[in-house]
Chain A
């Protein structure tokens, strides 16, 4: 029978606190010991009120935050495992992209780059051949319903929703093995949001391991294979969306 694949991501005992040296050396706790696994083809959605530590967890895995204690192990495409907390900066930088991706709410791009260039460059950076990258970039922008007339204008003139779709396209073309999504559809209207969720759903069926933060339960219900509930920097529950989400709805 099916033995479950080894996890792509194994987080254990993860803690994060900030020391604010310029505010009386105050210590702020963000994560108080998080354990979590995500397997290939799994979409794990983090739920919980704001301040629960969901984004902090994503940022600690991406090393945008340096965790204070614990372990984050990533299983790479070649099957080897690597402890991200011990990894030298330049190796972490190299790992980002092909193995580990992070899509935030906001597009960070050079103002004079065009949407098509941004997405093509992202694909090429993850090792895709330029000719194929042109094709998949066009495909991604089409699927995200970005008006073709905007493909070759400077990204700086795009609206918030258009920028967000470019960002999502760039983050998901030739997808990394583990994808961290932090509110990637927050600025989209219903029709565009629907297309974006469709695209994200396709990633999971393609074998990408996804760990996400969405503020709406509807997106979680549609995408998540498992929901992990966080509160006060800890994991306080998890289960299938059909089991966990109704309780959260009531708690609102």
Chain B
């Protein structure tokens, strides 16, 4: 069986400040810090390998400062890695190393091939325009021109993400938190991306609202067969959405495994601490 990776991250590293063997060797979990004292360099991520296949969700767990956001920013092309490759397989089967692209090509990739759902809807939506308008934005960026077709497609997407169609022409700033996340999801799915990144998609929502959004995300992943990366510090989110996950700590992946295994039989001291804290 050969897995068809949609995303393959190899040897990814991002260092802020001077890089040397000493900097790498002097940071990480065993040193209790991502910062190398003598030079002030911060090894935000190092030696990170990730693979995600179509129809699969990979979880990335870690507290703030663990490097998970750095890795995600390298994956979406917001940040240029110091070393390593980030290879995305597009829906036409061609592959591209995001780390080696120029900014214009990265922007195009963000419109057609990958999408992000941010923790804060403000980062993913324009609150001053309507729900339909936000989705339409993404479609026009991809070259859609017919008003009728755009409207039909936007309605279809909003319906799929459980936004009542009577609210399609309401301004997003009048939407509740849960409804804003649904609009973000509709926008993210607009151009049938091969990869979706979900960055703390339910953090900050009320528990009951979060449950509804999580349920929707799970159904979308099941039904659409897209590859997803779910970044969260919340174990219940990772447990519900992912089959495999990695644990990051001080810029390194300290453990990776099947999600149920990581929760029931964590091996690394840090993962054990995280799990027992979450279970308490």
Q: Are A94 and B240 neighbours in the complex by a CB distance under 8 Å?
A: no
A170 to chain B, nearest CB (A): 14
Q: Are A110 and B215 neighbours in the complex by a CB distance under 8 Å?
A: yes
**Cβ of A64 under 8 Å from chain B:** yes
Q: Are B212 and A22 neighbours in the complex by a CB distance under 8 Å?
A: no
B239 to chain A, nearest CB (A): 8
Measured in the bound complex, the distance between the Cα atoms of B219 and A121 in whole Å is 10
Q: Are A66 and B215 neighbours in the complex by a CB distance under 8 Å?
A: no
- What are the residues of chain A within 8 A of B260 when measuring CB–CB? 64
Max count, chain A CB within 10 A of own CB: residue among B53, B240, B244, B258: B258
- What are the residues of chain B within 8 A of A113 when measuring CB–CB? 215
Q: Which of B244, B264, B276 lies in contact with A59, CB distance below 8 A?
A: B264
Measured in the bound complex, the distance between the Cα atoms of B223 and A121 in whole Å is 10
Closest to A108 in B: B239
Place the interface of chain B in its size category.
20 to 34
Closest to B52 in A: A90
Q: Are B3 and A64 neighbours in the complex by a CB distance under 8 Å?
A: no
- What are the residues of chain A within 8 A of B267 when measuring CB–CB? 19, 66
Place the interface of chain A in its size category.
20 to 34
Measured in the bound complex, the distance between the Cα atoms of B264 and A214 in whole Å is 21
**Cβ of A240 under 8 Å from chain B:** no
Q: Are A21 and B261 neighbours in the complex by a CB distance under 8 Å?
A: no
Q: Are A89 and B269 neighbours in the complex by a CB distance under 8 Å?
A: no
Interface of B, secondary structure class, is: helix
Q: Are A63 and B211 neighbours in the complex by a CB distance under 8 Å?
A: no
Q: Are A121 and B272 neighbours in the complex by a CB distance under 8 Å?
A: no
**Cβ of A18 under 8 Å from chain B:** yes
A36 to chain B, nearest CB (A): 20
Q: Are B264 and A111 neighbours in the complex by a CB distance under 8 Å?
A: no
Measured in the bound complex, the distance between the Cα atoms of B101 and A107 in whole Å is 46
**Cβ of A112 under 8 Å from chain B:** yes
- What are the residues of chain A within 8 A of B258 when measuring CB–CB? 63-64, 89, 92-93
Q: A22-B272, A66-B261 are in contact. Are A121 and B212 (CB under 8 A)?
A: no
**Cβ of B1 under 8 Å from chain A:** yes
Q: Are A112 and B212 neighbours in the complex by a CB distance under 8 Å?
A: yes
Measured in the bound complex, the distance between the Cα atoms of B265 and A66 in whole Å is 7
Task: Scan B138-152; emit 1 where CB is below 8 A from any A CB, else 0.
Answer: 000000000000000
Q: A22-B273, A121-B222 are in contact. Are A94 and B1 (CB under 8 A)?
A: yes
B116 to chain A, nearest CB (A): 23
Q: Which of B211, B256, B272 lies in contact with A112, CB distance below 8 A?
A: B211
Known: A65-B265, A110-B214. 8 other contacts (CB 8 A): A19-B267, A22-B269, A22-B273, A59-B264, A66-B265, A90-B3, A93-B56, A93-B244
Interface residues of A (CB under 8 A from B): 18-22, 59, 63-66, 89-94, 108, 110-113, 121
> When A and B form their complex, which 8 residue pairs have the shortest distance between CB atoms, in order from nearest?
A21-B269, A112-B215, A65-B265, A110-B215, A93-B243, A64-B260, A111-B211, A64-B264
